[in-house]
Structure 1
Amino acid sequence: MSKNTAASLLIAFFSTTLFSSVFLFYLIFKPSYLDCIGDADWNIDDARFVGTVSFQMHKKEGLAVITGKVDGETETNVNRLVYFNYTQQFRTRILHTIRIVKTFSDTIDDEKLEAILSQFYLKKGGELTLTVDEYHSAYIFSEANVPYLYCRKKG
């Protein structure tokens, strides 16, 4: 084998190794920014919530925005922002509410929502455990292996 061939093979080997290492490093340490929106239609016993839920998560902090109506009422609205911290273990994220902001159009009593929504949306310190799976251009959120929300990626 000539010196030129050996040098070319060494350069190709080290270049491939370098690019593979950089790509693997990117896959492992890429930012885990999640930004999505989904339509919710949740039925619990005789109570029903129909609306929109969006999530933004980045660097262990997040925001959930929930808007909609309960039991088909036209006068009663849910419209609140839920700020939270989360921990992540593989695909599972545990969300802890740190602040809830009810907008001026949020006209429902929390007692009525307790039958439908998780404490995560209702009070500071509430908790929600979700498994997040990426599916095409969306995320599938599930709680205890039950689908919770089909959340379309934004942007």
Structure 2
Amino acid sequence: TVVAGDPSALVQVIEAIKPMQAAPSEDQTRVPFSQRKHPVAFQFLDVSTPFHCSLSESAVAKVADDIGRLGLFADCSQASPLTISCLSNEDGTPLSDKCSTWNDVAMELVRLQSVVINDWLSVCRNVAAMTASVTHVLDFGPGKAGASIGGLTARNLRGSGIGVEFAPTRALEIKV
């Protein structure tokens, strides 16, 4: 589970959870499994912006204003802009079900990255249910193979027959 928020609030969450966790030295071998305390690991992630939480709510309107001001999708009224599957990180449904124009796609992606909480297990379940049409998931990073969201995806899709490929995260030099 990832918890996002102000660092001082996150410290309070940690302090509230600590009494409920098992200490590394605590012997629970004689405690029934149903009554054992769970091991908990805390790690602050070095992020530049609070993605996927309400702290970024104001950014959505600003990006929408910029998209409109710059006319980024003014000439893109194509009825079905997505030609490959692009799934919502909210619930794993195809964006093409919700978005009929490029502007809709852009705003949905901004919303998904800014304020929507990831329910990655639901996304992976929906991907696994699409085995007739999905053979691979591509992870474009960032992070090392297995240590990124692709690693979590691979674990969640284990046994489904869907492969997870870790694409390079560095730009390739193209000589012209």
Band the TM-score falls in, shorter-chain normalisation: under 0.3
Bigger radius of gyration: 1
Higher helix share: 2
Structure 2 length-normalised TM: 0.22
Higher strand share: 1
